[in-house]
Chain A
Amino acid sequence: MATVRLRNLRKSFGAVEVIKGVDIDIEDGEFVVFVGPSGCGKSTLLRMIAGLEDITSGTLEIDGVTVNDLAPKDRGIAMVFQTYAIFPHMTVRENVAFGLTIAGAPRAEKERKVAEAARILQMEHLLDRHPSQLSGGQRQRVAIGRAIVRDPKVFLFDEPLSNLDAALRMDMRMEIGKLHQNLGASMIYVTHDQVEAMTLADKIVVLKDGEVMQTGTPMELYHNPANLFVAGFLGAPSMNFIKVEVGSVGPGQATVRTPALDPIDVPTGGRSFKGGDKAILAVRPQYLTPTAPDAGMLHGTVALTERLGAETVIDVTLRDGGSIIAAIAEDRVLKPGTEIGLSFDAAKAHLFADEALHTEPH
């Protein structure tokens, strides 16, 4: 268990900078998830922490020690790979014990630790099998077992569930969550799956193009996204973005309107606007409630409905031609073409400047 500190960490491949000055603090025992779209640099960042990629500049501290130039094995980390990376020519037992064997650990200690890891991961019956005889989920268990026996200060997971099917992914996700509770170790987990991020993390770091977009607890990010990117990235279905014009501006709130939206007061979330600005109003689909066609704040016609049983997702075409998604927490039949109104709690909406999806202070 240990803290991890990233200070202005940068990485370039030739002339291309892929990590552009990242600062992250990971506390002892914290489960931190790096999340972002493909190519955002989350895996590269993890590999830099692991020591598999050089650090171009900045400092990386694990447990108070600068480890920039230490070999992976000297950093006190263990890593679980997306492709499991278990050795096909060794039995499960040999795989799990690999690090200990390399370190020349006594036989008794090896057996004790392997047995302990096997018990935690419920794979005692697999120990003498070869990887080719295991399912995907079992292989991932072996990879995690190999990490556990080394008693690392920090566990690193690189999209460990991406190669599993949906049902198994959920099981393994819960197991990794339990593992964190039981071991209490610091864990850094990379994923592009926001459900994994939301459910596992104590702290989420949202990355885009090699920069941190926002850091915070899952609920902070969900309820108070710092910018359009984070707002759009977390939550399913994605947040609705409505182009609006700012009318009058008061303390902590602004009045906005569009042809499809009656003027309303929304919180500015500390961002500054002035009258006449173009802005983006962001509203979660779950916060929209259907009303009679002429009631509510937004008006349009139903284009499509998706009935999921417990939830109904409605795609509504607004009067100004825009499109908006509402997610209603009940089973509801709405024929395409039906006139509909939508209302929402303005206090739960977010207002962002209408620029490219840029970074803002967080």
Chain B
Amino acid sequence: MAMVSAENRGLRLAVRYAVLTLVAIIFIFPLLFMVMSSLKPQAQLLADTSSLRAFLPVGDISLQNYTDAFRRAPVVTFMINSVLVTGITVLLSLAVCSLAAFSFAFLEWKGRGVILSVILATLIIPFETIAIPLLLMVSQLPWIGWNGLEFGWLNTYRVQIIPWVADGLTIFLFVQYFRDLPRELIEAARVEGATWFQVYWRVVMPLAGPVIATAAILKFLVMYNQYLWPLIVVQQESVRPVMVGLGYFFQLNTAWGEVMAYLTVITLPVLAFYLVLQRAFIASIASTGVKG
């Protein structure tokens, strides 16, 4: 009996590892292809695509594509723009959406159920349908800047940030998480004399680590991958983000090696961000049942 069960366990383990390896391969190979291709000259890159050599660092390997990519486009500027826009949006979004969710979850005010429903309903509206009206709106909005009052937000960071700060999904994630917190904790803090903001800041947010990580990663990915919106609201190179910058590389004869080099560079912040928050992210998915 013991033999059989040991064998069974071995077999099960083998199957499990086989499946995991397969899944890992499916996810890793495109990345591998991208990085390897970025190291090869155009002719070899295209020739290698017909064999497994595409995934191996073989042949004429060099960093030439990176040099060329940096020469073709202001990669550093694009990276700074994207990181700035993404970072600020993520931080603002966490603050605004968690405060809104706090209000929905803990404060009692008339109509909060209806308003929450309306906010959740916005989840089913595709961005493409509101892109043009939003463009018309932001092109006329006022702003008080260094030069006093001005109108129109085009070609700025703020036009890339502000419309994306509040969103239904992030609010929903926070509301769900907050509702699962023990009510007595909030009541105890109130009895102890905490104001609502102190309850939010000292009790609720310190306990919201997993949902903060989830919301941050989801927002980060959305913002870092922004393409359509910056494409239509930003014409100046100085505030252009990385995804729009990709357009610099698609010409009559696309230099695929440079494209791959560019992609490799702009993927790095995503990997770094994800690795940092990975543990909290997994804990959050396990506890909320929300998939990223």
Residues of A within 8 A of B (CB): 50-52, 71-73, 77-79, 81-89, 98-99, 102-103, 143, 146, 150
Contacts and interface: CB of A to CB of B under 8 A. Distances in A.
Contact of B193 (A52, A81, A103): A103
Interface stretch (B35-43, B71-79, B113-121, B183-191): B183-191
B282 interface: no
Contacts of A88: 207
Given A88-B207, A89-B206, A102-B198, A79 B185 contact: no
Contacts of A71: 190
A73 B203 contact: no
Contacts, number: 60
Contact of A85 (B185, B202, B206): B185
13 contacts: A51-B191, A73-B193, A81-B184, A81-B187, A81-B188, A82-B184, A83-B182, A85-B182, A85-B187, A87-B185, A98-B194, A102-B198, A143-B188
A52 B182 contact: no
B192 to A, nearest CB: 4
Interface in B160-208: 182, 184-185, 187-194, 198, 202-203, 206-207
B207 A72 contact: no
B187 A73 contact: no
Interface size class, chain B: 10 to 19
Interface string B140-161: 0000000000000000000000
A99 B187 contact: no
B192 A150 contact: yes
Minimum-distance CB pairs A-B, first 6: A73-B193, A85-B184, A85-B188, A99-B192, A89-B206, A72-B191
A87 B192 CA distance: 12
Contacts of A146: 188, 192
A98 B189 contact: yes
Contacts of B198: 102
Contacts of B192: 73, 78, 98-99, 102, 146, 150
Interface string B202-216: 110011000000000
Main secondary structure on chain B at its contact with chain A?
Answer: helix
Nearest to A89: B206
A311 B193 CA distance: 49
A150 B193 CA distance: 10
B200 to A, nearest CB: 13
A232 to B, nearest CB: 32
A146 B194 CA distance: 14
Given A50-B191, A77-B191, A84-B184, 17 more contacts: A51-B191, A72-B190, A73-B191, A78-B191, A79-B187, A82-B184, A83-B184, A85-B182, A87-B203, A87-B206, A87-B207, A89-B206, A98-B189, A98-B194, A99-B192, A102-B192, A102-B193
Contacts of B190: 52, 71-73
Contacts of A143: 188
A228 B39 CA distance: 91
B211 to A, nearest CB: 14
A8 to B, nearest CB: 25
A247 B6 CA distance: 82
Contacts of A84: 184
B117 to A, nearest CB: 21
A103 B198 CA distance: 11
B1 to A, nearest CB: 39
Contacts of A99: 192-193
Contacts of B187: 50, 52, 79, 81, 85
A63 to B, nearest CB: 17
A117 to B, nearest CB: 14
A62 B232 CA distance: 64
A51 B193 CA distance: 12
Given A73-B191, A102-B194, A150-B192, A89 B185 contact: no
B113 to A, nearest CB: 15
A150 B189 CA distance: 13
A72 B195 CA distance: 11
Contacts of B207: 87-89
A149 to B, nearest CB: 10
B281 to A, nearest CB: 19
Nearest to A101: B202
A26 B30 CA distance: 74
Nearest to A90: B206
A89 B201 CA distance: 12
Nearest to B185: A85
A73 B182 CA distance: 20
B191 A52 contact: yes
A102 B191 CA distance: 11
Contacts of B206: 87, 89
* Interface core residue of A78, A81, A86 (most chain B CB under 10 Å): A81
Contacts of A81: 184, 187-188
A143 B191 CA distance: 12
Nearest to A54: B108
Given A85-B182, A85-B185, A89-B206, A79 B191 contact: yes
Nearest to B199: A102
Contacts of B182: 83, 85
A71 B202 CA distance: 19
Nearest to A149: B192
B110 to A, nearest CB: 15
A85 B191 CA distance: 11
A143 B194 CA distance: 16
Contacts of B194: 73, 98, 102
Nearest to A78: B191
